Structure formats: C-alpha cells, structure tokens
A and B are shown apart, each in its own frame.
Chain A
C-alpha cells in the first residue's frame, strides 16, 4: 500500500515539488522574474551603472556587478513567505504532522527557492548569447560568474529563511532579511574594510574580509574558482540553514 520509509530527509521530494510548483501557481513567481530581468537588464545597460554598451567589452561584468545589490531586495522577497506564511495560515501544523522531518521540510523549501532563483538567473542567458554574438567572451568567467550568483542566492536565501522562521509577519521577515544581507554585503566593501582596519586593527580587517559575501563573490566573477571561496559559500549557507532549523523547531507552534 505504501512505499513509506523513514530517514532524516523523509518527505523532501514531496515538499520540494510542492514548493517549486507553487512559484508558478501564483503571480508571485512571474512578478519576481519580470522584476529581476527588467532591473538587471536596466542596471547592466544603464550609462550610470553597468555601461555595458559604452565599455565595449565581451564580458558580463556589467551584469554581475549589480547582482549582489539586486539580490539583497529580491531574495529576501522570495524567502519571506517560506515559513512566515505557513505559520500564519496554520499549515505548519499540517506539515509537521505529516510523516516528514523538519530537515526535509526546511531543505525542501530551500532547494525549491534556490532552484527558482537559478531558473530566474538562467533566463538572463540571452544577454550572454548576445555578448557571444558581438565578441569572443571568456566562457569560463561567465560560468564562474553565474556560479557566484547561484551561490550568493543560496546564502541570501538561507539568511532570509531564518528570519521567515522566527516571525509570522512577512514584512518583518523581509526587512530583517534585507538588513542582514546588506550588512554581509557592505562589510566586505573596500571602504568598509578600510574603516574597520583603522578602528579595530589589521586582524579585524582580515576577519571581516573573510566573512564578506561580496569579496568571495568578486573572486568568482573574476573567473577564479577557488576551494576557499566554494567552502565559504557552502559553510555560510549551511550555517544559516542549521540556525534556521533550530529556530523553526522552537517557534513552529508559538
């Protein structure tokens, strides 16, 4: 009658499927995609920002440069509803009385959100094809750039999910998520690191630099695929995911 088996990730597939399909079952997913493509395209081509046409270079630097700033708004917007909505509508009670583990639920939602963000990113592929038509781009750099965007999306999403897990209010989750992602972004900017170095010393500057999302992201967009960078994003994302699971376990019934 049933192929039910138990394990740490029992139910992950069902949760992932429902969540991923959910992005396309409501206008939310389409609105997100349109806003992302329009905003990223405008930032890339604008004379005041990306200056893609003025630079006359066969690369996607103009596109990748503004992705971290675009994601600080858009990714928390995707993350904010993931748990806050479940808790507000009471479906969290339904979910956690099904034979699915908390890890499966949490990761199922995370992976669905991440896949949706990657899907949105891939819709910008015509830009890369256009670059290839106009010149001879370094496909390795484009690949690591997209990889950086995907890993950045994962880390932002894991941060946003934590705040979605601790509040029932989606707006609060969005504001907290955006604030946190901005903090992790600006702490790695040269100006910020310089200030930190002057006030707290060189070790602090190195520490904050190592914790900076933007620094590691820049490494990838420059075409450098380093183990340290990949490890940073994986550990950073997993850390936030584990914190989110612990938080959700405590708050789910409150």
Chain B
C-alpha cells in the first residue's frame, strides 16, 4: 500500500478558510479545451458526446467503456454509452434522477453485467478478468452501505482482508487518519452520524489505494463543512488517480471535476469541462445595464450592433444585453454607452444549473 501524495486529513471541524482555499485550488480547470465542444447553445442537445469531445489526456486511460447498454424490460437505463477516463481526470456524472448514472457506475464496477458493450479497467476486461479489474477499483455505492453491527476497524479489516492487503493494520491506520475516523474507529457503524458513515464508505474505497475511484454521490446529505472536507480529499487524490463522481450538486462539479458528463435517459448528452459547460449556459456573459435616466432608443441602438444577439428590456432604463455566441463583449458595450449616464453595469457568469435544466428538460420533453 503506497502512501498517498498528501498527508492532509479530514478532521471534525476544520477552519472554514482552509476548506475554502482547498476547494478554490481544486477548481483549477484543465487548460485544454474539448476538441469538439459545441460552439453554440442549441446544438448541445443534439450531439451525444463522442470520445473526441473529451478534454485532452492527463495520463494513461484507466477506464474504457464501449457501447455500454443495460435495459430493465422496456426501460433503457443505459443506452449505448462510450467514454474513456484517464489518470488525473475527475469526471463528474451529472443527470436528473433516473438518468442512468448509478446503473452506469454499477456497470463500470462490475456489479451489473451489461446487455451490450464492454468495460476495461486498468487494462483488465471486466467480463474476463473481473476480479483483477475490481481489485483496481475503489467504489463507494450510493448511500454508503456498510455492515452496521461491525466496528469501523472491524469493517475495514474485513475489506482489507477481502482485498488481500498484506499490511492490514498499516492500511487501516493510514486510511482512518486520512478520512478523520480516528475518534470513532472503535464504535459500531450503526451508531455513527450520516457524515461519519459516509467517511467509512470513503475509507473502505480508499483502503487499497486504488487507481480508479468511483463514488456515487459521495457528499449527498452531508452538511456544508463535511462536503468541503470530502471535496478537499478528492482534490488531493485527483492527480494520482482516475476519479468518477456522480452528483446532483452542480457547484461540486465546478469545484472538484475537470471533466463533466451530462447523462439523461441513459445517454451522454454532453462531455466537456465544467468551464466550457458554463460558457454554454443560457445567461453566460449577459450584461445588465442600468442608466440614471430613461432612454427609449437604447435597446434598438445596441441591438443593431453585430456582436449583439438580442436585448431584453426590463424598463426604459434597464436592459439585458445577450452577446452573440455567448462571448464577453463588455468593453464594446461600454464603448458604445460611455456618453450615457450609467448607474450600474453587471456582467453575468453562466450557471451550470441553468444549462443542466435546459438540456435535461429538453430531453425529457
């Protein structure tokens, strides 16, 4: 068992500033843009993401899924998805409830057998080398199930033994310290709070220092401090592993993921970086301009500019300027209105939530 690169540990009540700093650091986007990221808002819905749309490689491919499909009767839980995930990538699975995220994760971890397609984990085909592939994966299932009657240490011992780890006490000591379980390690799991139970789930997923980490909603139901701690831990692990996280929390994707996939009805709708997704959001780079005085002709004058897609008027003195292609044209607008009595100018950043709703509602409809 190798020592992880960071010695940071989860503690019960960390200073909020530290957590924020760690989270801010983790936001560092990959500089590489997706090769074929949709340039406009509308086509995003039409183009299921291809492998080529993924960000540039960060390391060797550790998870390779090809044409994965799983049907439950007439329901297509996963409908022929393909993607690769490389070392150093933190991939966020986004999607509404029932989109197929959990089923996709269960296919990748080998819990379910696909009706079609194949999965390769760290060079091992799940169909023929299932045990070797599973040995490379650390998995936190949804709701972090664990044997409630066992103590934290007893449970981790069982996992370590099932994974045939040589130095079981050493592995447990490391993972308990890293996930902040030291104080409760002799308690039975059923007596722990939800936050601690989730950490126990994380600890069992990390105990064998896996190359591939698959976490199904790791921060679901945690309080903001606990969420920040888990996000910090994942950020620490990001460089050395391939991490796949499913979540409903879009803010979390911006914080910890360097790649995001939106899944709906079992299909991948978008595969890009969170930053590029934000640029595709409906209100990205919209400028709200408010004047001290009414100017009934202002909207028409701005709308005539080639960089302006449209103008929404709220009142005679307040307008929203939607730029062409979602680009930032603040300076051009300021140049145009510099003679006017400006009261306020605000440049809006797109919200992932808006894009998510737009894409997934479109599919549902």
Contacts and interface: CB of A to CB of B under 8 A. Distances in A.
A89 interface: yes
A89 B111 contact: no
B135 to A, nearest CB: 4
Interface residues of B, number: 35
A93 B131 contact: no
A1 B143 contact: no
A14 B112 contact: no
B164 A90 contact: no
Interface string A134-148: 000000000000000
Interface in A1-48: 1-6, 10-11, 13-15, 17-18, 21-22, 25-26
Nearest to A100: B162
A1 B147 contact: no
Given A3-B164, A98-B163, A101-B131, A90 B158 contact: no
Identify which of A14, A94, A253 gathers the most chain B CB atoms within 10 Å of its CB.
Answer: A94
B198 interface: no
B112 A1 contact: no
Contacts of A101: 131
B139 interface: yes
B164 A97 contact: no
A91 B111 CA distance: 12
Contacts of A94: 139, 141, 145-146, 204
A133 B77 CA distance: 68
Contacts, number: 85
Contacts of A119: none
A98 B150 contact: no
A6 B149 CA distance: 29
A5 B131 CA distance: 9
B1 interface: yes
B42 to A, nearest CB: 38
A99 interface: yes
Interface in B132-185: 132, 134-135, 137, 139, 141-143, 145-150, 154, 158-159, 161-166
A49 interface: no
Contact of B145 (A3, A11, A93, A100): A93
A96 to B, nearest CB: 5
B109 interface: yes
A15 B161 CA distance: 9
A90 B161 contact: no
Given A2-B165, A2-B208, A3-B164, A22 B149 contact: yes
A99 B134 contact: yes
B109 A97 contact: yes
Contacts of A91: 145-147
A10 B134 CA distance: 12
Contacts of A99: 131-132, 134-135, 162-164
Contacts of B248: none
**Interface residues of chain A: helix, strand, loop or mixed (majority):** loop
B111 A96 contact: yes
Contacts of B111: 93, 96-97, 252-253
B277 to A, nearest CB: 29
Interface string B121-132: 000000001011
Nearest to A85: B147
B162 A14 contact: yes
Nearest to B134: A99
B204 to A, nearest CB: 7
B158 A6 contact: no
Interface in B47-91: none
B96 interface: no
A94 B216 CA distance: 12
B132 A253 contact: no
B195 interface: no
A89 B145 contact: yes
Given A6-B132, A97-B139, A18 B145 contact: no
B237 to A, nearest CB: 17
Contacts of B204: 94
Contacts of B148: 89
B106 interface: yes
Residue among A3, A11, A14, A252 with the most chain B CB within 10 A? A14
Nearest to B102: A93
Given A1-B1, A90-B142, A93-B145, A18 B158 contact: yes
B13 interface: no
B134 A98 contact: yes
Contacts of B110: 96-97
B2 interface: yes
Contact of A253 (B1, B106, B142, B161): B106
Nearest to B138: A97
A89 B164 CA distance: 25
A1 B160 CA distance: 12
Nearest to A101: B131
Given A18-B158, A97-B109, 4 more contacts: A3-B164, A98-B159, A99-B162, A101-B131
9 contacts: A2-B163, A2-B208, A4-B163, A17-B161, A25-B150, A94-B204, A97-B139, A98-B163, A99-B162
Interface of B: 1-2, 106, 109-112, 129, 131-132, 134-135, 137, 139, 141-143, 145-150, 154, 158-159, 161-166, 204, 208-209
What are the nearest 8 A-B pairs in CB distance? Answer: A90-B145, A4-B164, A14-B161, A14-B162, A93-B141, A99-B135, A99-B134, A97-B109
